[in-house]
Structure 1
Amino acid sequence: MIPPKKILITGADGFIGSHLTELLVRNGYHVKALCQYNSFNSWGWLENLESLEQVEVLTGDIRDPHYCKLITKSVDVIFHLAALIAIPYSYQAPDSYVDTNIKGTLNICQAALENGIKRVIHTSTSEVYGTAQYVPINENHPLQPQSPYSASKIAADAMAMSFFNSFNLPLTIARPFNTYGPRQSARAVIPTIITQIAAGHKSIQLGDVTPTRDFNYVEDTCRGFLALAECDSTIGETVNIASNYEISVGDTLNLIRELMGSDVEFLTDEQRLRPDRSEVFRLWGCNKKLQSLTGFKPQTGIRDGLQKTIDWFTQPENLRHYKAGLYNV
């Protein structure tokens, strides 16, 4: 077992962050979990963790550089996940994405440098690649800012890597492809379908279902994060976390419908369509670099992962967290 280290996870109250918190606690790490400050004193999905008593929960905002410097003291490793991620909302509020994703990343990197952090894992996204120019997409694929969100993440990745190149900050960029699973936001297509079918809807409003995606079960994504952090060879590298498997959104939805025994009808909702040049039509990630550096391989196939996701969402105590049928940007 790896000797326990003190970990800071930004965005720990979110979907992936809460799962990563669980994984790190199980592996013997002491976790400081940063949740975005709010007056309700809500810790997001961390509220549901059975291991919460083993987690040091903090509330604050990565947009404040002074706060970032304070919380990164006496920390060994930072997993930087905090970000604004909704693509439709980025059309409406792009300046918010600059503040959180770019400036927030700058604040974390500067604080990490000043406090002598041993490792920083910065979270990117497959959206930075845009529609595939070739497949599978490896880390050398051109970056294409097809939405304000993806543009902000391209800039955040560049800011993070500049701290490695300029100041030798021991940093790795983790670039996960489309992660799904329990606790995912209803703005994503898989929870949208599951929650509406579970709520008894006979028809479901959707955007374009022709694009393809490389879906990754959340536990695999988190194991990929940990593998990157535990391998010194990944320092200074950008590494995909992908399944190396491609499936269309439409086929994914039909598989969900089959697994749930539903005859629901899928309808196109114009407000859910991205602008023409903004839609990413094909994502299929190459995971050879991750495997060669760390030996990591995903363990959960799409069918098993969807079944686990359905099992979680269809529990009444979980389903009540979602507003089925309400379009969430």
Structure 2
Amino acid sequence: MQVLVTGGAGFIGGHLAESFVHDGHDVTVVDNFDPYYEVAIKRTNVSEARETAAKTDGSYTLVEDDVRNESTVSRLVAEADVVYHQAAQAGVRASVEDPKKPNEVNVEGTLNVLEAARSSDVRRVVLASSSSVYGKNHYLPYDEAHPTTPVSPYGVSKLAAEQYARTYNDVYGLPTVALRYFTVYGPRMRPNMAITNFVTRCADGKPPVIYGDGQQTRDFTYIDDVVDANRTLMTSDAADGEILNIGSTDNISIERLARTICDAFDQPLNLEYDERYRGDAEHTHADIGKARALIGYEPSVTIDQGVRKFIDWYRSNRAWYRSLTKATA
């Protein structure tokens, strides 16, 4: 199958591309290598996928371009059977400083993909959305019917993108699925995340730094579970037109996460606290009942297991990864 992954050199997109190539699909990745975080990580994602392609019947093609480029998007989408739209301007905190860019990339870029798809024979567009669309919690865990009141420009842009996808299904009959990811983590993850902060500092014998009082909670989702959900949607039409939570059902406070990582390093608990960032949600927790019912989604990695897996990977790649994360540690 011909598969297009936009943002396919990024964290989630890179893992998706590698998985699809491993399964023998012909994968095209488009990515602009925006230096929002270290481009070396994105180049490594490309290398991993290429190495996998060399060992399988799949193929891997990289196009360095931007989803805001309509002509490139139209050409690549026309050649695809399934489109995984992962390209985005990430970052809640960055969006507070520059709210226009996430709108340009996340909304206008998504419209380019959807417009191209409705003019072609694409079987499905799977869109990466985010738990950031929920914002202020009225109840937990979040189900898909929970009010969407984002507290950051990033959250607003992801909400607009997923609603465009739903509308294109309703109005034009384009098969679309939007997946609301809940704090995805794992090997080669973005270095400016809480888990990488804590792991990097503990490995250096330094105390983790918590932004806020540490009582805010997150539903951390291991990358393998996210990949499994996306793989199912390559052939299943059970969720066409729908929006699904993709989380772990594992809710943990940031402070307990720091304690868990300190314990894994046999390091005495000595936490540091700093001012909380604007735009950060207070709590996230996924109700995955809808995804379970429609596509059989069942997360398999708990937060304790996932943290251990990430630490094992970090230890094997410490010299390289530490050089990239030291600025955020």
- Partner in structure 2 of residue 78 of structure 1: 83
Structure 1 residues 77-111: Cα deviation after superposition (integer angstroms, max 9, x where no partner): 00000001111111111111111000000001111
Structure 1 residues 120-174: Cα deviation after superposition (integer angstroms, max 9, x where no partner): 0011001101132112211111101200110111111112222111111111111
**Is 1:202 aligned to 2:214, yes or no?**
no
- Partner in structure 1 of residue 154 of structure 2: 149
- Contiguous gaps of at least 5 residues in structure 2: none
> Which TM-score applies when normalising by structure 1?
0.91
1:220 deviates by 0.5
Q: Secondary structure at the match of 1:174?
A: strand
- Partner in structure 2 of residue 16 of structure 1: 12
1:258 deviates by 0.6
Residue 24 of structure 1 aligns to which amino acid in structure 2? F
- Partner in structure 1 of residue 328 of structure 2: 326
* Counterparts of 2:313 and 2:292, CA distance in 1: 29
Q: Are 1:196 and 1:325, in contact at CA under 8 Å, matched by a contact in 2?
A: no
Which one of 260, 273, 277 corresponds to residue 274 of structure 1?
277
1:187 deviates by 1.3
- Partner in structure 1 of residue 126 of structure 2: 121
Structure 1 residues 158-201: Cα deviation after superposition (integer angstroms, max 9, x where no partner): 12222111111111111111111111111110011112222x14
Matches within 5 A, 1:161-172: 161-172=166-177
Q: Secondary structure at the match of 2:258?
A: helix
1:38 deviates by 7.0
**Is 1:32 aligned to 2:28, yes or no?**
yes
> How many percent identity over aligned positions?
29
Q: Are 1:10 and 1:33, in contact at CA under 8 Å, matched by a contact in 2?
A: yes
1:52 deviates by 4.8
* Counterparts of 2:114 and 2:202, CA distance in 1: 42
* Counterparts of 2:178 and 2:206, CA distance in 1: 42
> Which TM-score applies when normalising by structure 2?
0.91
* Counterparts of 1:250 and 1:155, CA distance in 2: 32
Matches within 5 A, 1:173-184: 173-184=178-189
Residue 8 of structure 2 aligns to which amino acid in structure 1? A
Q: Are 2:118 and 2:174, in contact at CA under 8 Å, matched by a contact in 1?
A: yes
* Counterparts of 1:133 and 1:171, CA distance in 2: 27
Matches within 5 A, 1:1-329: 5-36=1-32, 43=43, 45-49=45-49, 50-53=51-54, 54-198=59-203, 200-208=204-212, 209-263=214-268, 265-270=270-275, 273-275=276-278, 278-315=279-316, 316-326=318-328
1:311 deviates by 1.0
The 3 A distance-change label for structure 1 pair 227 and 130 is: same
* Counterparts of 2:94 and 2:23, CA distance in 1: 36
Report runs of 4+ in structure 1 exceeding 3 Å deviation. 37-44
Residue 288 of structure 2 aligns to which amino acid in structure 1? N
Residue 277 of structure 2 aligns to which amino acid in structure 1? R
* Counterparts of 2:179 and 2:15, CA distance in 1: 16
Residue 288 of structure 1 aligns to which amino acid in structure 2? G
Q: Secondary structure at the match of 2:325?
A: coil
1:317 deviates by 4.5
Structure 1 residues 9-31: Cα deviation after superposition (integer angstroms, max 9, x where no partner): 01111111111112212222211
Residue 191 of structure 2 aligns to which amino acid in structure 1? A
Residue 227 of structure 1 aligns to which amino acid in structure 2? T
Q: Are 1:35 and 1:43, in contact at CA under 8 Å, matched by a contact in 2?
A: no
Q: Secondary structure at the match of 1:8?
A: strand
* Counterparts of 2:320 and 2:293, CA distance in 1: 38
Residue 302 of structure 1 aligns to which amino acid in structure 2? I
Q: Secondary structure at the match of 1:280?
A: coil
- Contiguous gaps of at least 5 residues in structure 1: none
